[in-house]
A and B are shown apart, each in its own frame.
Chain A
Amino acid sequence: MIPKVLDMSDSDQTNIIQLEHVDKFFGAFQALKNISLSVKKGERIVVCGPSGSGKSTLIRCINRLEEHDNGKIVVNGHELTSAVKDIDAVRSEVGMVFQSFNLFPHLTIIKNLMLAPRLVRKASKSEAYDTAMRYLERVKIPEQADKYPSQLSGGQQQRVAIARALCMNPLIMLFDEPTSALDPEMISEVLDVMIDLAREGMTMIVVSHEMGFARKVADLVVFMDQGEIVESNPPEEFFDNPRNERTKLFLSQILSH
């Protein structure tokens, strides 16, 4: 079986992700301002906000694709610092799905899925293959296994990207605007996969403007603006009774059509 960095079985109350007073600068521009957020095992969090509000930066800090400047980030018991030696090990427990899919274009679908389990988990070829086929079936495209990414539609590519992350058996899944680059008719096939995943109890942080999705699966909706968390509440509260003026404005803009 695939080993875990830390056994979480008896620690449902522990925060699997903990951010405390996190700041992030790009040059003089402050992308994150004093962000604190904690995520428990099995929690689903949807982060929304206008573009440039820092929501992508926030989740990219969680697997250290961006390095935060101040504050503290603890993922699955490991504090992320510049000294963290096993950042690769932390990352292998945190799945990530990107807006632009980022499938490896030179590898077939099945090889995209097998690469990291083979190299990082040292899985045997047949183990990695079986796992990959199982997840391809879960995202309902096993028949595409031997094609190259460029031969698939955007929706199919994003489902492959989700399957690729799941093959590492991650504890947490991060989604960075997973449906923003998709044609409208392909959005629901990706959201369906994500809803399934949420139902199975996966811990998820999703940056998205899909408010229907947020209402359906989120435990907490976090609204960000100008690098700050402006408001965070359970979805009923968040949508029906927004408190902050900026939240109200954002919701009126995004829900008015």
Chain B
Amino acid sequence: MSFDFALIVDSIPKILTGIGLTFQLLFLSAVLGLALAIILLLMRISGRWYLVAPTMVYIYIFRGTPILVQIFIIYYGLPQLEFVRDSIFWPILREAFGCAIVALTLNTGAYVSEILRGGVLGVDRGLKEAGAALGLSARHRFIYVTAPIAIRLCLPAYSNDVISLMKSTALASTITLLDMMGIARTIVAETYAPYEIFISVMVVYLILTWIIQRGFGWMEKRMSRHVRSEA
């Protein structure tokens, strides 16, 4: 078969017109997902069964099912229900974009809360005890001792999740959104050249991954200054 380089050169600028939407999907769901993850984490470590149990069920469902199924249920399934159409959420769930954000947020929130929990559990018990022995309240211990150390511990795993979230945004193209993947699929439908077009879109995703990796790498380095010893 022939490989049409000109088509790649041609299509990359077109694909890039969808990068704005890809970024919106990524940033909105990353930020909202992180907020959700923090709430889930606090519920999960509260030690109160009526907060812990629903959180565990939630995490089990959203980690245990494919994100594509979750997107379809939210986009195709929820509008079937009358109370959803009557609810205050309808302006969001009416739009494909809103559904994609909701699905990605709910999904990444479940994963990230488990990543954060790993970080919190990884904080040396002795440090929490030292905080307690100094008379710090439980809230102060969490904010000033546990959380800053936990953040450093879970940064590598979190960067992984952001990359995986970035790739998941491509699934939004299945519900009519013209993100980079959506545009690529449109071009494929017009040109019948899946090979060139999908390779183009792959290259763009790889570059984004590289940027995210470098960003987190820089953050890890900055935040672990205290570990590098000069003595």
Contact = CB atoms under 8 A, between A and B. Distances in A.
A63 B129 CA distance: 10
B226 interface: yes
B129 A116 contact: no
B133 A119 contact: no
Interface stretch (A12-20, A33-41, A90-98): A90-98
Contacts of B231: 147, 150-153
Given A150-B226, A151-B231, A152-B231, A102 B130 contact: yes
B134 A116 contact: yes
Contacts of A92: 134-135
B26 to A, nearest CB: 29
Contact of B149 (A106, A151, A153): A106
Which of A98, A104, A152: most chain B CB closer than 10 A?
A: A104
A168 B133 CA distance: 11
Could you tell me the dominant secondary structure of chain B's interface residues? helix
B126 A105 contact: no
Interface in A86-128: 88-89, 91-96, 98, 100, 102-108, 115-116, 119-120
Interface in B143-179: 144-145, 148-149, 152
A104 B140 contact: no
Interface residues of A, number: 34
Contacts of A94: 133
Contacts of B133: 63, 65, 91, 94-96, 98, 165
Contacts of B136: 88, 115-116, 119-120
A93 B135 CA distance: 8
A148 interface: yes
A9 B134 CA distance: 23
Contacts of B227: 105, 148, 150
B124 interface: yes
B82 interface: no
Contacts of B225: 148
B137 A88 contact: yes
13 contacts: A65-B129, A91-B133, A102-B124, A102-B127, A103-B130, A104-B127, A104-B149, A105-B127, A108-B226, A115-B136, A149-B226, A150-B227, A153-B231
Interface of B: 124, 126-127, 129-137, 140, 144-145, 148-149, 152, 225-231
Interface of A: 63, 65, 88-89, 91-96, 98, 100, 102-108, 115-116, 119-120, 147-153, 161, 164-165, 168
Q: Closest 6 CB pairs between A and B?
A: A92-B135, A102-B130, A116-B134, A96-B133, A148-B226, A102-B126
Given A88-B135, A119-B140, A150-B228, 9 more contacts: A65-B133, A88-B137, A96-B133, A102-B124, A104-B145, A105-B127, A120-B135, A150-B227, A165-B134
